[in-house]
Chains A and B, each alone.
Chain A
Amino acid sequence: MSARVLIIENDPDIITISHATLTEAGFEVDVATNVGDALAACERSTPDLALVDIRLGMRATGWEFIRAVLKSGNWPSMHLAVFSVHAEEDEYLAEAEALGIGAVVTKNGDPRILLHEVRRLLN
């Protein structure tokens, strides 16, 4: 059975590219563009990995999704990874570390890097 990845992202083009890359590599891929949809997706089918963009526009941020997941304790097996163009920045690293998430995936558009990181996190 293939691993399930939830992409939480509000940029439709990034969704298209990431979805195509991961689907082609054999992953089951769910997509959510906001925190509410992301939590609903988790309820429907627990992902093995959630790639969480931080700047989701409007009022919510990806940090809120991560906090909600950690607080609920409903999905202990789900891996969480920050997925952002700023992932390597100190501010993001510090926040991720504070929340107990060691994984950050830099969103630079390279499908090979995305695949490599997703496989590494799932293994």
Chain B
Amino acid sequence: MFPLVMSLGLVVALGAIGLVASAGANRTAQDIHQADRLTLQRTLGGLANQYFLFVAKDALDYAADQRWSLTVDDPADRARLRTFVEHSPVLSHGAALVSLTGAPLNSFARDPGLPAANDPGYQPLRALLLRRELGLSSVMRVEGVSVVALAVPVMDGDTPGALFVGFFRADTGALQTYNERLRYGKTGRAYLVDSAGGIVASSRRAEVGGRYDAAAVLERLRDEHDGFMTFARGSVRYIASYASVGVGGWGAITEQTEAEFFGRIASGGRTVMLALLALLIVAAGTVAVLNHKRQLALRKAYEYKGQLLANTTHELKTPLTAIRGSAMTLGMRWREMKPQQVDQFLSIIHRRCDALGKLIERILMGARLEAGREIMIAPEPIDVRGALRAIAAEFSEATTHHTIVVDAPDGLIVEVDPDAMDQILGLLVENAIKYSPEGGEIRIGAEGAPDEMVTVRVSDPGVGISAEDRGHVFEPYFKGSRGDGQHFAGVGLGLAIARHLVCLHGGDIHVSSQSGVGTLFSFTLPRGRAMAPDPAVAEVTT
């Protein structure tokens, strides 16, 4: 459980780091988006500024070029005013001459005429002129038409002699046309506002001449040259970028709903978060599955160890039972027993003690194999036929139910450790007997062409090994399946040890088998040099 909690904790922590990183990236993206909008806003403010400077310069140049009489209602002055209006690219609604005291001198205007001289919209214009700044009025209404006035001095030598005032229509002017073309998504609006908050131009023409309603934005526009802010209009959150135009206290404003402005970034963030969440779920699921698998493997290992212990115990208990039974029987009854009976029980003790010793040695060797420890061998030339006959004789004593047949040519020599050879043959023959029915014939043989490895075979007519088990029989502690959910008795080390010993000599071991028909184990060993005749044996035989 603890590793599962640890792993899940790690995954959650990584996920949280990912989410925080995502939120950070989201904020950065918002900042960049906001900065982009502000840059655009500054550009708009700058363009408007250049526009007014252009208009003012045009008016100033024209006023300076003319020989104004500056008398009230002078027809020549009016003609000059008309010429200007008809040819001006911007101040095309009307023009007027005004004395420095504010008294009207002359004017020309298209319909519906000019705002009255007492229109409060002129106040900013006058205030600016007094400060010797470029004069711009607020947007004014004349019979539903929005007009704006721009004033430049008419110089009389080095001093101003009067004012030249030009008018343009806000609702159809170039500024309005330009603003209408600005697009900021579905909710975006662009405005050009005068110093009093009147809308001089808007991306929605109907709003021109009205009042810009976001007081917070106008206030920030008065206090700062430019900036970016959020505000609420009713229940909807908006963002606004604003920049001063630089003349007349005017400003350019762009607003848009916050949801739309940050929407793509937010949805991108949501996508990242969802992706991370999905990753988190997948990772947590993977960890859970891996842990589950690990726990299953652990449980299997525990069950396996338990089974191994049970098998080993059984294999140890059986000879011990025979030894104890024989010893106790002898102890209680040896006086009444015939000598042959005494020998029989002593023989059981002797044989089973040997078997027990071998079993313990096998278990220890299995432990050495599992631990990867080296097993020392000392190969020497061994006569294969002799070795096979010896093992056949040994096992023939132990089993009365099986026949062991040896089939090997004379003079076949292998280079092998004698103890290892005994072990390998013993393990294979023991298995052959164990898994063969009574009366079965176990055949052990050997063959080998000159210059080739010698092949030794042990075959039995036993129960056979299933195809599934064949690939595992040489694995330590593997127990063949009986086919009824049970496993064969034994520790499961014999074949693993046999293979290891064969491999130590540079040979190989194979199994071929058919369920219910029998099994053939064959292993190879390096061919040895022929032994010199034993002088002692030679003497006896002659």
User: A residues bordering B, Cβ < 8 Å?
Assistant: 11-14, 16-18, 20-21, 24, 33-34, 55, 57-59, 61, 85-86, 107-112
Query: From B486, which residue of chain A is reached at the shortest CB distance?
Result: A61
Known contacts A33-B438, A111-B328; 15 additional CB pairs below 8 A are A11-B322, A13-B322, A13-B351, A16-B348, A17-B322, A20-B341, A57-B434, A57-B489, A58-B435, A59-B463, A59-B483, A61-B486, A108-B321, A109-B326, A111-B332
Is B320 at the interface (CB under 8 A from chain A)?
A: yes
The CA of A108 and the CA of B323, in the complex, are separated in Å by 10
Cβ-closest 8 pairs across A and B? A109-B324, A109-B325, A17-B325, A13-B322, A85-B317, A109-B321, A13-B348, A55-B489
> How distant is B185 from chain A, measured CB to nearest CB, in Å?
76
Q: Are B344 and A85 in contact (CB under 8 A)?
A: no
Q: Are B329 and A111 in contact (CB under 8 A)?
A: yes
User: B residues bordering A, Cβ < 8 Å?
Assistant: 310, 313-314, 317-318, 320-326, 328-329, 332-333, 341, 344-345, 348, 351-352, 400, 434-435, 437-438, 463, 482-484, 486, 488-489
The CA of A34 and the CA of B332, in the complex, are separated in Å by 30
> How distant is A79 from chain B, measured CB to nearest CB, in Å?
22
Q: Are A14 and B328 in contact (CB under 8 A)?
A: no
Query: From B322, which residue of chain A is reached at the shortest CB distance?
Result: A13
> How distant is A49 from chain B, measured CB to nearest CB, in Å?
18
Query: From B341, which residue of chain A is reached at the shortest CB distance?
Result: A20
The CA of A86 and the CA of B315, in the complex, are separated in Å by 11
The CA of A34 and the CA of B348, in the complex, are separated in Å by 22
Contacts A13-B348, A85-B318, A86-B314 given: A59-B482 contact, CB under 8 Å?
yes
B314's contact among A33, A55, A61, by CB below 8 Å, is which?
A: A55
A17's contact among B317, B329, B484, by CB below 8 Å, is which?
A: B329
CB contacts (< 8 Å) of B484 on chain A: these are: 59
Q: Are A14 and B463 in contact (CB under 8 A)?
A: no
CB contacts (< 8 Å) of A108 on chain B: these are: 321, 324
CB contacts (< 8 Å) of B435 on chain A: these are: 58
The CA of A107 and the CA of B348, in the complex, are separated in Å by 16
CB contacts (< 8 Å) of A85 on chain B: these are: 314, 317-318, 321
CB contacts (< 8 Å) of A59 on chain B: these are: 463, 482-484
Query: From A53, which residue of chain B is reached at the shortest CB distance?
Result: B318
Q: Are A17 and B326 in contact (CB under 8 A)?
A: yes
> How distant is A26 from chain B, measured CB to nearest CB, in Å?
14
Of the A-B pairs whose beta carbons lie under 8 Å apart in the complex, a sample of 22, sorted by A's number, is A11-B318, A13-B352, A14-B322, A16-B344, A16-B348, A17-B322, A17-B325, A55-B489, A57-B489, A58-B435, A58-B463, A85-B314, A86-B310, A86-B314, A109-B321, A109-B328, A110-B328, A111-B325, A111-B328, A111-B329, A111-B332, A112-B328
The CA of A12 and the CA of B310, in the complex, are separated in Å by 22
The CA of A112 and the CA of B325, in the complex, are separated in Å by 10
Q: Are B332 and A14 in contact (CB under 8 A)?
A: no
> How distant is A8 from chain B, measured CB to nearest CB, in Å?
15
The CA of A107 and the CA of B435, in the complex, are separated in Å by 23
Q: Are A58 and B437 in contact (CB under 8 A)?
A: yes
> How distant is B337 from chain A, measured CB to nearest CB, in Å?
9
Contacts A16-B348, A59-B463 given: A24-B321 contact, CB under 8 Å?
no
Q: Are B463 and A109 in contact (CB under 8 A)?
A: no
Q: Are A107 and B434 in contact (CB under 8 A)?
A: no
Q: Are B317 and A110 in contact (CB under 8 A)?
A: no
Q: Are B489 and A109 in contact (CB under 8 A)?
A: no
> How distant is B10 from chain A, measured CB to nearest CB, in Å?
41
The CA of A112 and the CA of B333, in the complex, are separated in Å by 12
B321's contact among A55, A57, A107, by CB below 8 Å, is which?
A: A107
